[in-house]
Structures are given as structure tokens and as C-alpha cells.
Structure 1
Amino acid sequence: MTTPADRERSGPGVPEAVHRRRWAILGVLMLSLLIVVLDNSILNVAIKTISTPAPTGLGATQSELEWAINAYTLVFAGLLFTAGLVGDRIGRKKVLLGGLVVFGVGSALAAESGSPGQLIAYRALMALGAAFVMPATLAVLMNVFERHEQPKAIGIWAGGVGLAIAIGPITGGLLLDHFWWGSVFLVNVPIVILALALMVWLVPDSRDPRPGRLDPIGVVLSVIGLVLLVYGIIKGGELADFTDAKVLATIAAGVVVLAAFVLFEKRSDHPSLDVSYFKNKVFSAAMTAIALVFFALMGVTFFGVFYTQSVRGYSPLESGLLMLPLAAAQMIFAPRARLLVDRFGNKATTTAGLVLLAGMLAAFAGFEADTPIWMLEVVFFLMGTGMAHIMTPTSVVIMQALPREKAGSASALSNTFRQVGGALGIAVLGSVLSTAYRNGIEDKLRMLPAGLRDTAGESIEATLGIAARLGPRGQALVTPAHDAFLHAMHVTALCGTAVALVGAVVVVLFLPGRAAAPHRDEEEQELVAAAE
């Protein structure tokens, strides 16, 4: 049981009334987190349906599907810096409520999209709302829990991601079995309404007593730089040629703008990204690990849907159910990962998680069209186990590295690196998948008219769609399409494995081991000295 004295030792600013309802507040924050994560996990199940020609879907190409995902992640990541500062400045509850409203409106519009272009635009609007929701949830958490309870609360918060991963594909599959594809976005609206009502009732407001000014130039530079960089990578995958002059110029321009962003932030007296945070090697290592993990994971899971649905023939609902072990492992282990951290330390726990994740990504390189499905389930469960033992310790390290009043900034940075890593993973590994598939299927497409060859080579869905339209003549393309995709999946999986192993090396070199627990009298002396 926590006493008032314990709360004083953990830091000021947690009123008794707020402390009593802290777990209910955590539940509301997880509901808000749920809809932000749920949207992406639902979309992963729906991408095959959306790629189907109208009226079933929108006839989106693989590039458009990647942009439907990346429009969300890029806007989200680009605005997180400002969202964290706005929350610290005007109050986290206010930005949570505003972000949820924008997210709900964007979801309703996305459900009625009439073209891939409209879907991409409305996904960007959803990201605008989500950018203000995600950092505020973790910032509020840090301000309603005492320091010694924060690791447990963050573990449960991270477990909420696993819950969303579980609910998303299943919900998406059920909706796609009974309704049109837009229902996967419309389902967000009632969840938003419930979260708004509970938030108004339960969640307290908090802010930084000494907030910084907003940084519009930094925001513009970060968004432009990220968009140019990822667009260049996606375009290289589309063309199957990363040496193309336009591709190289776009990527180079993105790198230059991002470098200008960093230089501007270093010289600004009110930066959206305080680069001094990264002088702390532990903080930087945790950030790098998160970025690399999501780079590997998002890039590899992008092909998972096509493997289960296009190659193995599972329905969207069945494909969603196959993801249950991954989600269940995160839900089980994320809240308990702190126990391993207490016993073995951050370095050992996170390294083990990364090595396990790398091993499971490598396992995909051995999957074929007839691999027993239980093996995929085991791999998914172990992937979730690895993720749980990466996310919880790194999140705790990041959030506790900065003062409580800077919780919005810390959360924004953590989520930015996660989203940017995921966006670049989809772009880079998606491009590897696209290029390898095109190279593998190219020779088999000579039987097609010249006008159809480029379209058929974009993705396995495009090839199978044209094969279906050709009737019996098209059956000759099915097996080569499966073989080309499996080879492309193997190459992509090994690239993801290498990235995860780089993350493990970073953690081994820079993350701390077991930390000695401070004595109570030392804590009290520090607080007395701070009060004098």
C-alpha cells in the first residue's frame, strides 16, 4: 500500500484524489491508446481487400497501400514534437480531447473514401489527431503515478498495445466478412465517443510550469525531410531501381533537410527537439533500439498479410486470428517484463528480447507455401514475447530519464522514433519486397500484353488479379507468383533480422545493466536538499 510519505518521496504533484483513481485513469488512457494502435492493426488486415478493384475495394497499388500506411505514420511522427510541447504548454487533457475529436472525424471521412488518394488524405487527418493523443497518454500516466509505480504502469500501458494488436485484426476480419472495407475505419467513431466521455469525467489536467515556445520552422523541416526521404525510398522500390536520378535526388534532399532540422534545433532557443537529451548515452541507446525494432518489425509484418491471405489462402478474419499469439504474448509479458529487469537489468532483458525477435524474423526466411501453420503461430508468440521485453524496459528508461514536467516531450520523442522507425521500415523493407518480387516474376510476365506487364509486376495481388481476369490462361501465373513472393519474403525477412541484430549490439554497448536500488535515507536526504 502506498502512503502519503511514499508519494512525497517519489516527487510532488500527485494529489490524493488523483492518486486514488490512478488505475481508472490508466484504463481511460489505454482506451485512447487502443484506437490509435487499433487503426493500424485493422488496416494491415484490410490492405488486401483495399487493393482489390472496385466495388469490393479501391484497386490500390502496393505503392498506394504503403502511402496509406506511411501518410499516417509520417504526419504522426512529424507532428509529435509539437504535440508534446503543446500538451506540456496548454495541458495534456485538452490536447487529448482535441486529438480524439480530430481522429474520430478523420476516421468517418476515411470510411467514405472514393479513391486511394482520398484514403491517403484522410489517413493523414487521422494522424493529425493521433499525434496529439499518443504522447499525452504517456505524459498523463507519468503525472498520476509515483516513480516507483511507473514501471508497472508503463508495462500495463505497453500491454495495451498487445491488446490493440489482438482486437484490431479480429475486428477487422469480422467487419470485412460482413460489411464493406470502410467499416474498418468507421468502427473507430464509437470508441472515440466513449473515450471522450470517460476522459472528461476521470482524467486530470497537467502541464509544464515552465513550457517552451512552439517551433513551427522545426516542424516544417522535420515533416518535409521525412516525406522526401520515404517518398524516395518507395519510388525506388516502385521502379526496382535505387540508382535512378530522381530517386537519388529525392532521398538526398530528404537527408539534407533533416540535417538542416537538426542544426536548426541545436541553435534554437525554443527547439521542438531538444538535442541535448541525446548527450545521455542511455537515453540515446533506448531511442535507437526502439527505432530499429519497429523498423524491422513493421517492415516484416507488412508482408505477413500477403503471405497468409494471398499465398496461404486465408480470409481476412482468419488472418487476424493468426495474429492472436503475437498479441497474447505482449499482453502476458509486457506488464511482467519489469520483474526480469529488476532481476537481470535493462541491458540483459532488452538484449534477450532483441535476439529473440531477430531469430523469429529469420524464421520467416524458411517459410514456404506448405509450412505447417502451427509453426507460424509459434513464431508470432515468440515475436510478441521479444517485443514485450524490449518495449517495457526501453520505455521506462526513456520516461524516467527526463523530469516529470517534461513527460510530454519524452513521450513525444519515444513515439517519434517508434513511428519514424516503423515508417522507414515499411518504406525500405517494402521496397526490398517489391523489388525482389518484380525481379522474380519479370520473366514469367512475357506472356502478357505490354500494357499489363508493369501493372502485374507491382505486387502478388496485382499478378493474381490479372491472372483471375485472364481465366484459364492466367492459371499459369499463379504458381510463379507464389514462388516469386516467397523468395521476396525470405530476402526481406533476412534484412529485418540484420536490423534487429544491430539494435541488440547498440543495447549491449550502451544500455545500463542492473541498477542498485537507492536507500530510503538517501532519497530523503536528496529531497530535503532540494527543498532547501
Structure 2
Amino acid sequence: MSTPSGGPPAAASRVPEAVHRRRWAILGVLMFSLLIVVLDNSILNVAVKTIAAPAPEGIGATQSQLEWAINSYTLVFAGLLFTAGLLGDRIGRKKVLLFGIAVFGAGSALAAMSGSPAELIGYRALMGFGAAFVMPATLAVLMNVFERDEQPKAIGIWAGSVGLGIAIGPITGGLLLEHFWWGSIFLVNVPVAAVALVAMVLLVPDSRDPRPGRLDPVGVLLSIVGLVLLVYGIIRGGELADFTKVSVLAPLLGGVAVLAGFVWHEKRSSHPAIDVTYFKKPAFAAAVAAIALVFFALMGVTFFSAFYLQSVRGYTALQSGLLIVPLAAAQMIFAPRARLVVDRFGARAVCTVGMVLVAAGLAAFALFTAGTPVWVLCVDYFVLGTGMAHIMPPVTVAIMQALPREKAGSGSAINNTFRQVGGALGVAVLGSVLSASYRGDIESHLGALPAGARDAAGESIEATLTVAGKLGPAGAPLVESAHDAFLHAMHLTALGSAAVALIGVAVVALFLPGRTPAAKAPQEDRPATREPAARG
């Protein structure tokens, strides 16, 4: 993007040498900060079975409460991402990052001590509040300590840290659950957050928009209200497995209306919070859509795969975590190198192939049974990770380099907002398909149970297995029926996930730039200006 007229000379846009010399160490700190956010979600995925167990092993959370333990975090996180990005641009990204890490650490400590599902849901929301200030700030700082030619490499490494979190999370969670109580999966975040805070104070420079202009309180308020209503409607629809009820349609349509009002306001404001005309650029809009679609497909599968591995296959939390390592390993291997493939073949070809791999990996779940060989699972997770590693870095680069450098916080917030909304929609829609299909299949096998037990047993596979366990040997046929019903539901959900990924294939194939435009970006299209000196 060209430097705006009236801006400082080009030399002022360069990274201060003192910051430039330690840019890789700064990236390491940013990855560490991002790691605790990713770590938390990946740990929770392997712990859902334990948390669902009755006290004292767990807290007796139902499947609906488990979804809310995930989605309360998502609701607050997605609702505040855009606002947190704007605040970082205005008051300083380092300040916002420090604040977010501190709140996230405090929320983790409280979540570890939760005595009920309701408390866990509330403290997870507090963790989401802190994470909303962490995620956009890490990417915004990255864009401000690396020059444009090194940004794709740095973003690839940043994206690879997501894979690292996915790998470490389940293994760490499994080890903790084998030796400690379920709350330890949250308590482990506290020392990590403390180390991240110290490292940020010592190494990370502060940066902000040198000319932020007037605040747009109306736009900020509309963005928060619209996103919260939209994500709440999505989550509520998934919880009820019905998107036609008034309690679902009201927040959904209200959120869409408020966000439409946000766009209308931003287009007419003399000091908009975000320039919405960027969405008129096909490459930018396609990159944002690709992020949303891939996370829609993936988050739904991530949610049910934990039950498949533990409830159907009988693996422990640690074993389940180890089985997901190939997905993470593929991201760590390929994400930092994705820029090299993009330079050779172009973002369109690379992301299209990546989306095809994701669709194929998701569709493979429709073939899995209770006896599918472990190596087949590992290969499929590796395929999924490889596909994601060739989607996330290129589309993130496309989004971040489309905006001026001083608006890096806003760009990062857009990237992460669409990712979170897509993920929430995936859990809600695909989760509702899974639940509805499972209940429909299992109900015919619950006739011999008392009415109260029948209702409870039909809620989820874990609930069914709990009731079957209380029946002793007589419960064996019910266990088999539960496995069959879940596998059928999983197959339907996997096919739905793959169909969404195929929509992503069409989007990136039609609208992302090919090799020539990406390779011949003019030198004058440098990011807009930044402060000539970083503040520690």
C-alpha cells in the first residue's frame, strides 16, 4: 500500500535498528504469548470427557455446559477482538498485550478452582476477555518489528506456533489429567503467563498509530454489540440444535442488523474505526472468508474428535493428545515454509491445494470406525495439518499487508474475528448436527430405562455410557448402541465439514491472486508509516 500523502518520509517507516537487531527474540516472546491462548483451548479439548464426569473426578458438566465452557470464551473473545485491536493501535500494543496476559492468567487461576459448571463458564469468559487483548496485539507487534519482505516468513513462524500449541496442549493436558485433578489444565497457564509478562517487559517494544485521529465510539459500540449478538445466536442455535426458534433468530438477526449498521456508519464517518472499503478488494475479502471457512470446518471436527478418541476408541486423554501430534507437527513443519511455495506458485494455487487437503482430511472421518488403525488416524491428522499450514500464513499475509502498518491492530483483529466467528459457527452448526443425529439414533435403544434416566442418557454419548456403566453387564448392549449412534452422527458431521471446506476451495480458487501479482508487488507499496523510534 502506498504511503498516504502528507506522511513522513520513507526512511521514517523503517524499523528502528535497535528493534530490528532483536526482532527474532521479540517474535519468540510473541509466540510464547500466543502459545498460552492456543494451549488453553487444545488442553480443554482433551479434558471434556474428564470435566463431564461426576465429582470428584470432574464437575458433572453436560454436553451443553461443555459447549458453553468453550463458547463463553469464544463469545467474549470474538466480541472484543476488534475493539482490542483498535485500542492497541491507539494506546500502544505492548500495554494492551501486558493487560491481556495478566487478565488471562488471573482467569486461568480462577477457572482451576471452579466448583461447578456455571463457575467454569464464567471464568472461561474472563479468560476470553484477556485473550481478546493478546491475539491481535501479537500479530500487530510482529508487523511493526519486521520489514515487509520478512513479514511472510515471520507470519509463517507465528502461525506455526499455533501448531506448537496444538501439539503441547493435548500432551500436557493428558499428563496433568493422569496425575492431578482436572483444574490443573487451567492452573498450568499461570506460570506461563508470568514468564510471558516478564519477557514482554524486557524485550517487546511499544508501538502505536502516530496519528490515530478521533475516536469512533459509535463504531466501537456497534461492533461489540453486533458481534456479541451474532455469536450468541450462533451458539444458542447449536445448543438447541434448532436455528428456527425465536431465542436463536432474534440475536442472530439482531446481530446482522447491528453489524449492517456498523458498516453503514463506518462508510459515512469522517473518522471510521476501520475502512470497510478494503472488503471491496476480492483478494482481501477472499482471504478473510478463507480463514472463517477453514475454522468453521475444523472447530466442529476438533470438538467431536475428542469424544471419538476417548468415548468410542477408549483412549486416555494423554493418548488422545499424542494422536493429534501429527496435525500439529505438520503445521510446525510447513507453516514457516509456506512463503517459499507461495513465491513459486502463488497464493491462489497454494491455498486451493491446502483447502482440498483440509476437505479430504475432514471427509476421511466419515470412513472411520471403532476399529480404524491408529496409523490411519495419524496420517489423516497430518493431512489436515498440512492443508492448514498452507492456508493460514498466506491468507494472514494477504490481510495484514493490505492495511497500513499503523493499522496493524485493526488488521489483526479482523483476521482473528472472522476466525473466531467461523469457529463458533462450526461448533454450533456441526455440534447441533452431531447432537441431533446421535439423539435420533440412540432414543430407540433407551426404552427399557426409567423416564428420568432415559432423558439424561440421550443427551450425549458420555451421558449414555455413564448410565450404561451403572447397569453393569446388562449395560453392554447399550454401550455398543451408543458407539454405533455416535459413529453415524460423526460421519454425517464430517461430510458437512468437508462440504464447507469445498466452498473454501471455490472461494480461494476464484479470488485470491495468482503467482504473478504476488511476485511483482512494487517496492513503493510499502506499509504506511510508523513511529521512528520504539518505546520500551
Distance 1:143 1:75 in 2: 27
SS in 2 for 1:56: coil
Q: Deviations over 1:204-245 (max 9, x none)?
A: 110001114445544554444444444444444554544444
Distance 2:215 2:164 in 1: 34
Matches within 5 A, 1:275-290: 275-290=276-291
Does the Cα contact within 8 Å between 2:405 and 2:527 map onto a contact in 1?
no
Residue aligning to 2:493: 492
Residue aligning to 2:534: none
Residue aligning to 2:175: 174
Matches within 5 A, 1:182-193: 182-193=183-194
**Residues 1:57 and 1:223: Cα distance change in structure 2 (over 3 Å):** farther
**Residues 1:55 and 1:87: Cα distance change in structure 2 (over 3 Å):** same
Matches within 5 A, 1:216-227: 216-227=217-228
Residue aligning to 2:376: 375
Distance 1:520 1:417 in 2: 26
Residue aligning to 1:26: 27
Q: Which amino acid aligns with 1:427?
A: A
Distance 2:250 2:508 in 1: 33
Q: Which amino acid aligns with 2:143?
A: M
Q: Which amino acid aligns with 1:484?
A: A
Residue 288 of structure 1 and its aligned partner are, at CA, apart by 0.4
Does the Cα contact within 8 Å between 2:104 and 2:128 map onto a contact in 1?
yes
Distance 1:521 1:495 in 2: 41
Residue 246 of structure 1 and its aligned partner are, at CA, apart by 3.9
Residue 443 of structure 1 and its aligned partner are, at CA, apart by 1.0
- What TM-score do the two structures reach when normalised by structure 1? 0.93
Is the counterpart of residue 95 in structure 1 residue 96 in structure 2? yes
Q: Which amino acid aligns with 2:57?
A: T
User: 44-53 or 448-457, which moves further after superposition?
Assistant: 448-457
**Residues 1:222 and 1:438: Cα distance change in structure 2 (over 3 Å):** farther
- What TM-score do the two structures reach when normalised by structure 2? 0.92
**Residues 1:371 and 1:24: Cα distance change in structure 2 (over 3 Å):** same
Residue aligning to 2:462: 461
User: 485-494 or 441-450, which moves further after superposition?
Assistant: 441-450
Is the counterpart of residue 67 in structure 1 residue 68 in structure 2? yes
Distance 2:461 2:444 in 1: 14
Does the Cα contact within 8 Å between 2:237 and 2:428 map onto a contact in 1?
no
Distance 1:29 1:290 in 2: 21
SS in 2 for 1:210: coil
SS in 2 for 1:167: helix
Unaligned 5+ segments in structure 1 are 1-7, 528-532
Residue aligning to 1:478: 479
Q: Which amino acid aligns with 1:312?
A: R
Matches within 5 A, 1:42-57: 42-57=43-58
Residue 428 of structure 1 and its aligned partner are, at CA, apart by 1.0
Residue aligning to 2:198: 197
Residue 452 of structure 1 and its aligned partner are, at CA, apart by 2.1
**Residues 1:146 and 1:228: Cα distance change in structure 2 (over 3 Å):** closer
Unaligned 5+ segments in structure 2 are 1-8, 529-536
Does the Cα contact within 8 Å between 2:347 and 2:518 map onto a contact in 1?
no
Residue aligning to 2:349: 348
Distance 1:276 1:465 in 2: 53
Does the Cα contact within 8 Å between 2:79 and 2:228 map onto a contact in 1?
no
Does the Cα contact within 8 Å between 1:82 and 1:272 map onto a contact in 2?
no
Residue 40 of structure 1 and its aligned partner are, at CA, apart by 0.4
Residue aligning to 2:5: none
Residue aligning to 2:107: 106
Q: Identity over aligned residues, as a percent?
A: 74
Q: Which amino acid aligns with 1:482?
A: H
SS in 2 for 1:515: helix
Is the counterpart of residue 255 in structure 1 residue 259 in structure 2? no
**Residues 1:434 and 1:225: Cα distance change in structure 2 (over 3 Å):** farther
Distance 1:360 1:271 in 2: 41
Distance 1:425 1:240 in 2: 13
Q: Which amino acid aligns with 1:508?
A: A
Residue aligning to 1:137: 138
What RMSD, in angstroms, separates the aligned Cα atoms of the two structures?
Answer: 2.3
Q: Deviations over 1:426-452 (max 9, x none)?
A: 111111111111111111112111122
Q: Deviations over 1:54-92 (max 9, x none)?
A: 111111111111111111112111111111111111111
Does the Cα contact within 8 Å between 2:84 and 2:132 map onto a contact in 1?
yes
Residue 279 of structure 1 and its aligned partner are, at CA, apart by 1.7
Matches within 5 A, 1:503-522: 503-516=504-517
Does the Cα contact within 8 Å between 2:362 and 2:495 map onto a contact in 1?
yes
Q: Deviations over 1:85-114 (max 9, x none)?
A: 111111111111111111110110010011
SS in 1 for 2:471: helix
Residue 453 of structure 1 and its aligned partner are, at CA, apart by 2.1
Q: Say which structure, 1 or 2, has more relative contact order (CA 8 Å, 6+ apart).
A: 2
Residue aligning to 2:13: 12
Residue 272 of structure 1 and its aligned partner are, at CA, apart by 3.9
Residue aligning to 1:386: 387
Residue aligning to 1:413: 414
